[in-house]
Structure 1
Amino acid sequence: MTLMSRLDRFNRRHPWSHNDHYGPWVASQVAASGARTVLDVGCGTGNLVALLSRRPSTVTGLEPHPATARAAAERFADKSAITVVNTDFAGRPQGRWDAVTLVAVLHHLPLAPTLRELRGCLTPGGRLVVVGCYRESGPADLLAALPAMAANPIMGLVKHPARADAPPLHMTAPTTEAQETLADIRAAAARELPGTRIRRRLFWRYTLVYDAPPAAAGL
């Protein structure tokens, strides 16, 4: 058995969510913007929604997977400020939001058109916060992956010390491989969302923050 297969087997026995790892950071970015209405695209079972709802705001979660959306809706059934809709981004309710969040969702959608639509979802001065996946390409990506490969099993032991027979529900949603490289994402964001801040992150992720222009004075 190779080292990589041993690592993969170990990681499966101690599963933890790379996406949930960034949940507190996403929530802090939204809180710092002062958002009162938030749209979470691809909310899963609602782990990020729970963090976003700690502030006095209304949160709408979109989840296309029926069983996952049902679990999220049941989780927040007694929370009047939280709405979960069983739909994808294309089926979102009409309107604009003070903040829009996507965690490991953007690579499921056509990049440039989706960035354009996301810009249109924001109120003046609204904030877009993305934690995304990218396709590895080149030496820089390989170097960035090395510390993640080393830290991943340690995090698994810390967050999920008991051996698991199956991944938890919030880690069972359908997945797909990212097609765009980080360079592709930077280029598309520069065109569609001028002023976007993008950073490479640990555990095969990047973050993107975009602030829409404020309303013009006197309008």
Structure 2
Amino acid sequence: MTLVARLDRFNRRHPWSHNDHYGRWVAGRVAASGARHVLDVGCGTGNLAALLRRRGATVTGLEPDPATARAAAQRFAGDPAVTILHTDFAGREPRRRWDAITLVAVLHHLPLVPTLRELRGCLAPGGRLVVVGCYREAGPADLLTALPALLANPVMGLIRHPARADAPPSHMTAPTTDPQETLADIRAAAAQELPGARIRRRLFWRYTLVYDAPGGA
């Protein structure tokens, strides 16, 4: 068995969410913008929505997977400030504008350039878009970033999920797909559709994007 195969086997026994790792960061960027009404695209079982609620935001979550949407709706059944809709981004309220929009590991499921354009149009003046995304590795810089993540991943698994698991937790069971765009592709698309967006390569095969719409006070 190769080292990579051994690491993969170990990681499956100690699963943890790379997306949730950035949840507090996302909630902090949203709170720093002063957003009151947030659209969480691809909300999953609602882990980010819960963090946003703790900071006083009202949240509308969109989730296309029926079982995941059902779990999120049940989770927030007693909270009128959280609305979970079983739909994808196309099923949002078409004329509504949001103080902030979040997408965590969602953008690579959607056509990149048209979606960035639509997201910009969904923001209220001065609104903030916060993305944690996945990208296709291509080139030495990606490989250099992947190496420390490859080594740190099992350590984080032991810390976050020390007991051996027979299956991934429910919040890690939504359908996934591999990203097609490289980080260079994403930077180019953002430069075209979201002028001034700040993009950073992050650990654990992720990047972050923050864009502030013009027109804020």
TM over 0.5: yes
1:137-192 deviation digits (Å, cap 9, x = unpaired):
01110000000000000000000000000000100010000000000000000000
Structure 1 position 93, deviation (Å) = 1.8
TM-score normalised by length of structure 1? 0.97
Match of residue 48 from structure 2: 48
2:75 corresponds in structure 1 to: 75
Q: What SS does structure 1 have at the residue aligned with 2:54?
A: coil
Equivalent residue for 1:155? 156
Partner residue, 2:93: 93
Query: After TM superposition, where is structure 1 displaced by more than 2 Å over at least 4 residues in a row?
Result: none
Give the number of equivalent residue pairs: 216
**Hey, what's the Cα distance between the residues in 1 that align with 2:57 and 2:16?**
28
Query: Alignment RMSD, CA only?
Result: 0.8
Amino acid at match of 2:5: S
Residue 175 of structure 1 pairs with residue 171 of structure 2 = no
d(CA) in 1 for partners of 2:84, 2:9: 34
> Is 1:39 aligned to residue 39 of structure 2?
yes
C-alpha distance in 1 between matches for 2:55 and 2:24? 13
Secondary structure at 1:78's aligned position in 2?
coil
1:108 aligns with 2:109: yes
C-alpha separation between the residues in 2 aligned to 1:77 and 1:83? 9
Q: What residue ranges of structure 1 are gaps of 5+ in the alignment?
A: none
Residue 23 of structure 1 pairs with residue 15 of structure 2: no
Aligned pair 1:57/2:57, yes or no?
A: yes
* Equivalent position amino acid for 1:68 in 2: T
Return the offset for 1:114.
Answer: 0.1
Give aligned-pair identity as a percent: 82
How far 1:54 moved relative to its partner?
Answer: 1.1
Matches of 2:106 and 2:57, distance apart in 1: 22
C-alpha distance in structure 2 between counterparts of 1:167 and 1:182, whole Å: 28
- Deviating more after overlay: 75-84 vs 49-58: 49-58
Specify every segment of 5 or more residues in structure 2 that has no aligned partner in the other structure, as ranges.
none
Distance, in Å, in 2 between the alignment partners of 1:58 and 1:202 is 29
How far apart in 1 are the matches of 2:119 and 2:57?
A: 20
**Distance in 1 between the 2:53 and 2:199 partners?**
25
Q: What SS class does the counterpart of residue 77 from structure 1 fall into? A: coil
